[in-house]
Structure 1
C-alpha cells in the first residue's frame, strides 16, 4: 500500500444505496473535465453539485492564458477578444509599466457559457450530473471519489487528504462596456495597502470589464466591497457600465499543489488540490492539466485495483517544481508598505525588470506539464 493510503478515511454508507464507480464532487471546470474523461473510459460517473444552477456562484475571473488556449479545445463562442497589452501600476497609479506581446496572451471567458459547454460534453460522454446535491450525497456511495469542491474542500477533509492552508480572498465586478475602439488591456495595480499580498486588476477587452482585487484576508484594510468601491473611485481607466453589473468572489489557494492529494478512496483536482499558481493565482490552466492526469490515474486504479498506480498522482513531485513561484509568493506577501512597492517599480522600469515582468505575464509555463500514466 502506498504512503498515505493507510490514513485515508472512507465514508461508510448504509445499505440500499445507489453505487457508482466514481463520484465527482463539484461541477466547476475541473470537476466536469475530469468527469468527462473518466466517463469516456467506460466507468459509471456521477457528478454532484450543491448549486442548483451553474450560472450562479461563479468565483473565477475566467482568464485563459495563451498556453491553455493553444492546448485545449475551449468554446470559441464564449471567449472574449484577445488581449496582448498589460499595464502594471504602482500604488500611486502614475507612470505604469507597459508590456505588449506579439501574441494573443489572454482571453476572458463567459464562464457561465464555458460551464454549460463543459456540462454538455460531460453528459455526452456518459457522466450524469445532479445539481442541488451536497456532499456527502444522500443515498449514493462510490468506489472512488474525486474532490473538485473548491479551495475549502470537504472531500479532502473527509478522506484525510491535505487541505489548503494559505488563501487569498477576492471580489470582482463584471459588466458590459461600450466598444469604443480602445486597445484591449489587462491593468494590474500592485498596492499593498489595497490588495495586500496580491493585486487589483481591470481587464477591459472592449466587450466586458472585469474590475477586482484580492489579498491576504488577515491584512485586508476593510470589507472587500468597500475596497472595490475605493479602487473604482481612484482608478481613472474604469469604463462606464452599459448593462447590469454582476459581482462574484471567493477564496483562492496560493500554497501550491498540496502534497497528499490521492488515497485509496479518492483524489483531489482543481482548487481542492491547490492546483493554482502560487504567484499569479491562475487556476484554469492547472485545473485542466491536472484533470487529464487525475482521470488517467483514476481509470487505471479502478481497472487494476493496484494502489501503486496512485503514485503517479504525486502532489509532492508537482510541488517541487514550484519552488521559485513559492519563493516569489513570499516576496510579494512580504511587501507591506506602498512606499516599498513604489521602489520595486523603479526596478520594473529597467530593462531587466521589464524582461522579468514579461516572463511572468507572458511566459509559456503557467503550470508544468504532467507526465502521462504509463500504459499497463
Structure 2
C-alpha cells in the first residue's frame, strides 16, 4: 500500500497548484483524478482577470490578447452600456494547456499525478481494526471525528487504497471529499454551459459581451468573449428557473448572441457544470484534510469568477497544511477559516440574493436606466475592473505561526 504525506483529490487548477506548493516544501504528494487527462473535461471559461495576471506567473503563450472593452446588454439587446478600461482587464486562456502546464510544474516539484483513478471515500485510523467510516453519518447526523496524527486511508474504485497523513479536497463544486471529512459543502449553485470555437481572424477588436436577461439566464447572464482567436459563448443561471434546461438556453442564445463572430471550421467544444455562488464555506479544514477551489466555494458570489480565488486560496491552504504537518499543532488549521474570509465579500452576497430574485425582463430594462448614469457606470466598472483581490489571504500568510512553520520547512 502506498503511503504519502498529502493526497490531493482533483487535478484542476486549485489541486495542482496546492500539490506543487506542498511538494516544494518537501512533502510527499500524490494527486489523483478520475479523468484520463487533465486537458479533457474542462469546465471553466478560462477568463483570467488583471489582478491574477499581475500576481501569478501564467504561461504567456497560453493566454489570448488583452481585453479592455465590456458591453452590457439589457434583455432587448438595444443600446448596450460600454465600459472601457485604460488597461488590459481580461485574457482568455487555453485552459487545457494551462492544466497541462500546472501538471508539469507539480511533477517537477516532486508531486506524483495519477489520472484515471476514481476516488471512493476515506476511513480514519487505518491501523486500527477495520478503521472508522467517515462520511457515513449516523441518524443523528454525527460524522466520525479526526484526531491529529491518525492516518487517513483513501479508497478508490478498482485500485488499492492509499494511506495519507492529510487529504486535500479539490474535487469540484459537489465535493465528495468535503462530505467524507465532515466539512461544509456548497448548497447554492448556478448551472452554466458554453461553446468554444475558433473564429475568423482579423474581425473586431477583442471584447467581452454580457447579456442580462432572466429569460435565458435567471440570476446571472449570457456572455460572448471574443479575443480574436476563439469565441466563448455561454449562459448560466439557476437551474430551477431555467426553462428547458441550460443546454436549450445555450442553443437559443448562440443563435443571436451579440458580438458572436463567424466560426472558422467545425463547431467547437462544449463545456458546462455547476458553479457554487454561496461564497467561501465556513468550515474548510479539520485534522484529516482541507478544501480548495470550487470544493471550498472559492468563487465570487457576484461575478462567478473562480480562477483568481482558487489560486490565492491554494497559497494559504498549502502554507497551513505544510505548517500543520510539520508542527502537529491543530490550532494552525484555524488560520484557514472560511468564516473570516466571508467578510471580504458580504456586499457581493447581498447582490447575489438580489439577482436571484429578479425574474422580470422589464425590471432589468428599468435597471439599465440607472446603469447608464454616471453612478451606475462607476459601480459597474468597480465590479468589473476593481483592483481588490478575492479573497484577501496575504494577511494570513503573514501570520507568525504560519511563517514559523514555513521557515522550518
TM-score range with shorter-chain normalisation? over 0.9
Shift in Å, 1:234: 2.5
The answer to whether the 8 A contact 1:277-1:366 is kept is no
The answer to whether the 8 A contact 1:297-1:309 is kept is yes
Q: Secondary structure at the match of 1:259?
A: coil
Q: Say if 2:215 is the partner of 1:193.
A: yes
Measured against aligned partners, the alpha-carbon deviations of 1:181-216 in whole angstroms (never above 9, x if no partner) come to 411000000001110011000000111000000001
Residue of structure 2 aligned with 1:354, choices 377, 384, 399:
377
Unaligned runs of 5+ in 2: 120-154, 405-409
Shift in Å, 1:139: 1.9
Q: Say if 2:154 is the partner of 1:131.
A: no
The answer to whether the 8 A contact 2:200-2:229 is kept is yes
- 1:104 corresponding residue in structure 2: 88
Distance 1:331 1:173 in 2: 28
Deviates more, 1:242-251 or 1:30-39: 242-251
Residue of structure 2 aligned with 1:281, choices 292, 297, 304:
304
Shift in Å, 1:236: 4.1
Shift in Å, 1:237: 2.5
- 1:7 corresponding residue in structure 2: none
Q: Say if 2:58 is the partner of 1:74.
A: yes
- 1:182 corresponding residue in structure 2: 204
Number of aligned residue pairs: give it: 360
- The within-5 A match list for 1:3-14 is none
Residue of structure 2 aligned with 1:27, choices 5, 8, 11:
11
Residue of structure 1 aligned with 2:69, choices 85, 109, 112:
85
Shift in Å, 1:331: 1.0
Shift in Å, 1:180: 2.1
- 1:213 corresponding residue in structure 2: 235
- 2:101 corresponding residue in structure 1: 117
TM-score (normalizing by structure 1):
0.94
Could you say if the C-alpha distance between residues 54 and 243 of structure 1 is closer, same or farther in structure 2, counting changes exceeding 3 Å?
A: farther
Q: Secondary structure at the match of 1:282?
A: coil
- 2:287 corresponding residue in structure 1: 264
Larger RCO (CA within 8 A; separation ≥ 6): 1
- 2:2 corresponding residue in structure 1: 18
Distance 1:232 1:19 in 2: 49
Q: CA RMSD of the aligned region, Å?
A: 0.9
Distance 2:87 2:343 in 1: 30
Residue of structure 2 aligned with 1:47, choices 10, 31, 36:
31
Residue of structure 2 aligned with 1:65, choices 49, 55, 60:
49
The answer to whether the 8 A contact 1:93-1:235 is kept is no
Q: Say if 2:336 is the partner of 1:313.
A: yes
